[in-house]
Amino acid sequence: MAPLRITVIGTGYLGATHAAAMAELGFEVLGLDVVPEKIEMLAAGRVPMYEPGLEELLAKHVAGLPGSTGRLRFTTSYEEVGAFGDVHFVCVNTPQKHGEYGCDMSYVDSAMASLAPHLTRPVLVVGKSTVPVGSAQRLAEKLVELSPAGDDVELAWNPEFLREGFAVQDTLHPDRIVIGVQGERGEKVLREVYETPMSEGTPLVVTDFPTSELVKTAANSFLATKISFINAMAEVCEAADGDVVKLAEAIGYDERIGAKFLRAGIGFGGGCLPKDIRAFMARAGELGADQALTFLREVDSINMRRRGHMVELAREAVGGSFLGKRVAVLGATFKPDSDDVRDSPALNVAGQIHLQGGQVTVYDPKGMDNARQVFPTLGYADSALAAARGAEVVLHLTEWREFRDLDPAELAGVVTDRLVLDGRNALDPLRWRAAGWTYRAMGRPRA
Ligand code: UDX
């Protein structure tokens, strides 16, 4: 039997990584995006975003690059994709709708509608995007209706759990593989794709459409809840003069709780957790199950409160008003090892201070271009030291390794006031205090 030929539709964080990973597993892969500039970059082995390890994986497989396997190619043509593929992975994004909680399905809908007319033989279409429960059923019917091959086109749902910054590692070595299927072919084909020596020992959960869609939103809701739980504890610690970092360590030793995702600070952001919990609430409402998820509203508001709280701490630190005050902001991305500033708590805090009259200067190791695009009126500097020059307060808002490695004594030489607020509980208070800084963090005693 000839090896399966795979296509990947949508080449953002998810799709570009999935395409490269499929080539790494030995498949012939064709990636598609509707943005020609992205395709040109990928075809030249360059990644349109910052994702550690992805460029190296592309270099190994993109056709035409010296020494590559040639297994990975890119196109903008659905016709080509339809003619090539036996399995089509749909990896386009599902952002939050403008001005409301629900999920914008227009990219998924249009990818399916563009692909379907080119499906002339039995194939499997696999959705990987995060979608409201019920979407897979609707899309499966649509595909049969719009495809020349009709019933011979089957859909499977296969949610993706990768984290930005670890996309390659998470894709090649996932914790689990979840497959939602209706027919037998879906499971058989996806087992052929995923059951490789590399995935030995990885649990494979086979289930129905709605459960597979819900697994993803449930997982992200749980993670968001865990972060907001520890941030709620941080609020109580502040009121009671307790230390949330010690508290998290102590409860994390209980294996039932676990130490991960208990880092208190300015909260979660990014293209997934915030919009996923909102879309989940909206969908539950449509299904008449809104009461089941009212707690997520609280999870969201605890999270958003953290940003406001950081702004208040900074305002208090500079004497009650930002007017005429210089504020250095270290970090713009929603987390380290990414250039993504979507719904970034760091950029949001910087923006709020700027709008309240502060003179904000931001530095981020990888997120500067994206931050400038989203917030062009902020000040930007090309190093932490330059951002801190003349600052009355330094805010540490994204926990890049570069910031943990800063020399507080060197920074002390350029600021106006040695005052640092750690919004991620990631700097070493002893080092900063030893260099003469007043160090304050969220949910920790003032000392
Ligand atoms: C998340 C999920 O982890 C991933 O499984 C899913 O596929 C997509 O959404 P990602 O958005 O890349 O991944 O980032 P993640 O590492 O989960 O962090 C999300 C946000 O939570 C970041 O802003 C991070 O700073 C924050 N966070 C994380 C905390 O504030 N505290 C923590 O303890 C952990």
* Together in a domain, 350 and 237: yes
- What average pLDDT score do residues 237-261 get? 98
Question: What would the pLDDT profile of 302-313 be if each residue is shown by its tens digit?
Answer: 999 999 999 999
Measured in angstroms, how far is the CA atom of residue 164 from the centroid of ligand 1?
8
105 lines ligand 1 (CB under 6 A): no
| 103 carries an active-site annotation | no
Q: Which of 207, 230, 248 is the last residue of a domain?
A: 207
Q: Give percent of the chain above pLDDT 90.
A: 96
Residue 410 has pLDDT above 80, yes or no: yes
* Together in a domain, 254 and 180: no
| CA–CA distance, 221 with 308 (Å, rounded to integer) | 22
β-strand partners of 326 = 359
Range of the domain at 415: 208-447
Atom of ligand 1 at shortest range from CA of 335: 25
Per the structure, how many domains does the chain have?
2
Atom of ligand 1 at shortest range from CA of 130: 7
Measured in angstroms, how far is the CA atom of residue 303 from the centroid of ligand 1?
13
Residue 96, SS3?
strand
- What average pLDDT score do residues 37-43 get? 97
* Together in a domain, 361 and 385: yes
**Residue whose CA lies nearest to ligand 1 atom number 27:** 268
Residue 110, SS3?
helix
| CA–CA distance, 178 with 72 (Å, rounded to integer) | 25
ipTM value, please give it.
0.98
pTM: 0.96
262 lines ligand 1 (CB under 6 A): yes
Question: What would the pLDDT profile of 353-384 be if each residue is shown by its tens digit?
Answer: 999 999 999 999 999 999 999 999 999 999 99
Residue 196 has pLDDT above 90, yes or no: no
Look at residue 200 in the predicted model and tell me its pLDDT: 83
- What average pLDDT score do residues 20-42 get? 97
* Together in a domain, 154 and 99: yes
Question: What would the pLDDT profile of 212-227 be if each residue is shown by its tens digit?
Answer: 999 999 999 999 999 9
Atom of ligand 1 at shortest range from CA of 220: 2
- What average pLDDT score do residues 31-38 get? 97
CATH number at residue 343: 3.40.50.720
* Together in a domain, 153 and 23: yes
Residue 447 has pLDDT above 80, yes or no: no
- Of 171, 223, 304, the residue with max ligand 1 atoms within 8 A of its CB, to mutate for a pocket test, comes to 223
Read off φ and ψ for residue 137, nearest 5 degrees: -60, -50
Look at residue 187 in the predicted model and tell me its pLDDT: 96
Question: What would the pLDDT profile of 48-74 be if each residue is shown by its tens digit?
Answer: 999 999 999 999 999 999 999 999 999
* Together in a domain, 291 and 327: yes
Residue 327, SS3?
strand
* Together in a domain, 37 and 62: yes
| CA–CA distance, 118 with 75 (Å, rounded to integer) | 15
* Together in a domain, 267 and 152: no
| CA–CA distance, 78 with 120 (Å, rounded to integer) | 13
* Together in a domain, 190 and 238: no
Residue 193 φ/ψ region, left for φ over 0, alpha for ψ in the -120 to 50 degree band, beta for the rest: alpha
Q: Which of 207, 225, 252 is the last residue of a domain?
A: 207
- What average pLDDT score do residues 397-402 get? 98
Q: Which of 207, 227, 261 is the last residue of a domain?
A: 207
Atom of ligand 1 at shortest range from CA of 276: 9
* Together in a domain, 99 and 248: no
- What average pLDDT score do residues 416-433 get? 97
Measured in angstroms, how far is the CA atom of residue 219 from the centroid of ligand 1?
11
Q: Are 10 and 92 in contact (CB under 8 A)?
A: yes
| CA–CA distance, 436 with 346 (Å, rounded to integer) | 25
* Together in a domain, 144 and 12: yes
* Together in a domain, 184 and 243: no
- What average pLDDT score do residues 217-244 get? 98
- Of 91, 217, 268, the residue with max ligand 1 atoms within 8 A of its CB, to mutate for a pocket test, comes to 268
Measured in angstroms, how far is the CA atom of residue 220 from the centroid of ligand 1?
9
